[in-house]
Structure 1
């Protein structure tokens, strides 16, 4: 390698590195996790920009897998101190998801992402104003659901004592709100068909 080429590489590195360092002043990283089921661990990070006068940042969500980097920008207005990155595991049979929880006032906005080895996909955007998110097996099928809790702010109600839940279940292709399924009364069985004796 010529001295000129080495000098050029060093100069480019010195130009690019400060630009990244100044744009992303903080990093939130997860313990490596296998997101796409190939047996190889992915590295998951959130890169935050320098906060503005109100403490808000822009951020990018990044996954490193098999030597490649995949990233998506997140909505502006995230606060470094109240934004959290976590892995969401519903069952050993289901590939883990990545969750970004952003607290905004009394709400938590939750974004749930999947990774198939080539693409990052936002699977769900939901909020809780209680605020609370838990994972539990509400229908006893061996797979956890994601449960979001909400305040009841109607007149005459106690916002916390009269709180309610919405249940989000993964069906293999998407999350759906199964709250109504859980509490819907079973339909009455159809009336029996008349027998031949009755017809006579």
Structure 2
């Protein structure tokens, strides 16, 4: 047989032998694991972004239950006694009152009638020399007069600081009386005068002329 005819057979034998040798190769032992690699370097920080838009407010939550009352604390010790305070004002308001009558004389028109016989004048706010009452405590006052005319007309005027407040008139020995309530400031004056020509003032052992006044309230 020629060499060219044997060549394919020889190649086939090589392939078969190689295949059988491959089947008989033993598996190798696993290698030792490698050591971990070194950590990598940090990356470059990213560029900042824009602020986000504000969100809508959330809904109001339900009202919580009221808490329980706390336990009363222990009473503290009694403090020291304080200093005595100043004396307070009296509950009684200012006092002023007077009453006076006329002695035997003939008053003149245009000047205060001098009630020069003191009945009551504890505070001294009425002056029997001038016939004038001077207000010392601002307030509301009550004044009264009582007199007798002669046979002819008599007109008595209640005066306040030179102004006529009220007039009382009478005739023929009939008693006359009058009263008035005035609001006075400190220093105000009140007195009685007779109006000309009606100055028929009559006083005797049985007839008095009396002028009185007192404070109602401050």
For Structure 1 versus Structure 2, the TM-score category normalised by the shorter chain is under 0.3
- Which is greater in Rg? 2
Q: As a proportion of its length, which structure holds more helix?
A: 1
Q: As a proportion of its length, which structure holds more strand?
A: 1
TM-score by length of 2: 0.21
